[in-house]
Chain A
Amino acid sequence: MRGLFALGLALLCPAAFAAPWAFDPAITVSQDPASRAFFHLEAAGRKSIAVSDAWVAITWEDNRDGVSRCYVALKAPGKKIFADPLRVSGGREAFEPAIVGLGQGRFALAWEEDGRVWARLLAADGLGKPITLGAGAAAQASLAYAAPDGLFAAWSEKNKTYWQVKVARLMPGRASALTAGRAYPVESGKLEGDQSYPSVAALGAKKLVVAWEDRRAGHTRILSSASRNGGARFAPPQQINEAAWRGQMSGFGRGTGVMRVALSPYGVGGAGGAGSVGGVAAVWADKRDFLAGYDVYTAFARGDQLSFGANEKAQDDFGNEIAQWHPAISADRKGRVAVAWDDDRDGTPDIWLAWRSAQGWSDNLAVPGASGPGVQSDPALILDAAGNLHLAWIEKTDLNSPSRIRYGFGRWVDGGDK
């Protein structure tokens, strides 16, 4: 019903709803022929899809053979479909694979397997040898790449008492070999709470930004920290989400909730030429309005300090009374920024999209092919160098049914609301 009302408004105000992408029909990336498997797109930072020149890769976890394992599928330039999936993980349970494009059709993958974090390279000729990251129990890997600095991984690693976010530079070599540099914690002092679900963004010029969920304050906050020397040392963390706790609980509890931050560099290598430093865009699920559940909030870090500014809500008013889940973000070198998430404002979970313009966040668009009957959820998205939108999501008949991976392509069209 709300969707119909929104459509009516859109007809009255076409400029506000002119999506800058024209969407092709969605295609299936992978499914279990017996329709018994459960597919998941749940990388830390929601980096489950990547582009590398004209190649597209999507990575996920499913239990098609009874064990949760990680897979990846490639779509070659000019092809309409994805090739058969390759198994990324080994023989044991594996979860939360993340991927990033390295250019020239190459990708890097990282995932959790048997309580450790692993990484390996991927190219058209197959997968490279896997390596482990970190010294102990670890999970929730995130990857970032920026030329010429290279490839970086962030993950959460079990310290004596708490989980701690660590970062390392990874070095791709010949024949799809991969080696890892020394891992550094984003904070070197004594831990006072868990740090989890990191997302890392590489901006070039040895600048990195890492954001994560932090529980040291007795409730979950989104903290970030910037490095200017390639991840060997980080500035003291900054809280991204604006505090909404005003002591109204008379001493009960410690604060509102947030979860699952995702970062994307934007404007990197843009007007200033290749290698120029832009900023970082962040999105997360924020429960400051605790009665209506999580909302989609964003913030931007600009300038040399890479400090995040005022929080902006990406969902429109029609989504305010509905809980939003699984927010993902992507931006490109021209500074185009898009956010996707799922919510059920139209009765069943759909993928919703918002994009940033000079006037702020757009009205929300139910993505064609990723909305309608059944469940469409858990989006991951990436904008390529031309501003085209590549979107992956989970599709199933109901919340608990077996599922499959779907892919949608939105071609950037001039004249949209940029």
Chain B
Amino acid sequence: MLRGLAWSLGLLLAASAAWADPPQGYPFVSFDQGLRQAREQNRPIFLYFGRFGCGWCDMTNKQAFSDPGLRKLYTQNYVLIYVDSESGKRLQLPSGERITEADLGVRYKAFATPLFMYMEPDGKEIARIPGVKTTQDFQDYDRFVSGGHYKTQTLNQFLAGKP
């Protein structure tokens, strides 16, 4: 009975993962919880705007975020936030305003998913990167952010100068 329940649950999780939600194995949290954590821990934010059923998100999850090294790197270096850009789930902005995840997508112009954003611990935007990316891309973006290069260079300048 229990084994059957666990099997069913496993199937459900596997099916959900296949439809595109946050990549598995990453400690993604909600937007408001993530902002609080980032301030408390003084860590930068990696914000992932996805969409339920999004093919490009699913591709990125399976081809980039499945990499164990990337999972370790991003789990160590960032507060990870996932937002479903069609969801009615409610969150609270630092201003006190209560809006839905879908309307957060409107505020950040997350009209095409996936959209990845890097932010300082106070929520100030560092870089926004739309579309499918590779493991190597995410490693490069991490060097740009974690190395503080964004303070003196644009992302394109940094990437053009990479060895």
On chain A, the number of residues with a Cβ less than 8 Å from chain B's Cβ atoms is 40
Contacts of B54 in A (CB 8 A): 219, 253, 257
Asked if A219 and B52 make an inter-chain contact with CB atoms under 8 angstroms apart, the answer reads yes
**Is residue B96 within 8 Å, beta carbon to beta carbon, of the partner chain?**
yes
Asked if A38 and B96 make an inter-chain contact with CB atoms under 8 angstroms apart, the answer reads yes
In the assembly, what is the distance between CA of A38 and CA of B107, in Å? 14
Contacts of B95 in A (CB 8 A): 38, 400
**Is residue B128 within 8 Å, beta carbon to beta carbon, of the partner chain?**
no
Q: Which of A42, A66, A248 contacts B100 (CB 8 A)?
A: A42
**Is residue A227 within 8 Å, beta carbon to beta carbon, of the partner chain?**
no
Contact with B along A212-231 (1 / 0, CB 8 A): 01010111100000000000
Nearest-neighbor residue (CB-CB) of A93 within chain B: B98
Q: Which of B56, B96, B97, B109 contacts A252 (CB 8 A)?
A: B56
A197 to chain B, nearest CB (A): 6
**Is residue A101 within 8 Å, beta carbon to beta carbon, of the partner chain?**
no
In the assembly, what is the distance between CA of A293 and CA of B112, in Å? 6
Contact with A along B42-63 (1 / 0, CB 8 A): 0000000001111111110010
**Is residue A254 within 8 Å, beta carbon to beta carbon, of the partner chain?**
yes
Q: Which of B23-31, B85-93, B143-151 contacts A (4 or more CB under 8 A)?
A: B85-93
Asked if B93 and A400 make an inter-chain contact with CB atoms under 8 angstroms apart, the answer reads yes
Contacts of A93 in B (CB 8 A): 98
Nearest-neighbor residue (CB-CB) of B108 within chain A: A399
**Is residue B106 within 8 Å, beta carbon to beta carbon, of the partner chain?**
yes
Q: Which B residues from 57 to 113 make CB contacts under 8 A with A?
A: 57-59, 62, 85-86, 88, 90, 93, 95-100, 102-103, 106-107, 109, 111-113
In the assembly, what is the distance between CA of A325 and CA of B112, in Å? 13
In the assembly, what is the distance between CA of A62 and CA of B92, in Å? 13
**Is residue B19 within 8 Å, beta carbon to beta carbon, of the partner chain?**
yes
B79 to chain A, nearest CB (A): 20
Asked if A290 and B112 make an inter-chain contact with CB atoms under 8 angstroms apart, the answer reads yes
In the assembly, what is the distance between CA of A66 and CA of B88, in Å? 21
Contacts of A215 in B (CB 8 A): 52-53
Nearest-neighbor residue (CB-CB) of B102 within chain A: A259
In the assembly, what is the distance between CA of A307 and CA of B93, in Å? 41
In the assembly, what is the distance between CA of A292 and CA of B55, in Å? 16
Contacts of B119 in A (CB 8 A): none
In the assembly, what is the distance between CA of A287 and CA of B85, in Å? 12
Nearest-neighbor residue (CB-CB) of A349 within chain B: B106
- 6 nearest A-B residue pairs (beta carbon): A219-B53, A293-B111, A253-B55, A249-B55, A323-B111, A218-B19
List 7 A-B pairs, Cβ < 8 Å: A217-B53, A254-B55, A256-B53, A257-B86, A290-B112, A291-B112, A326-B106
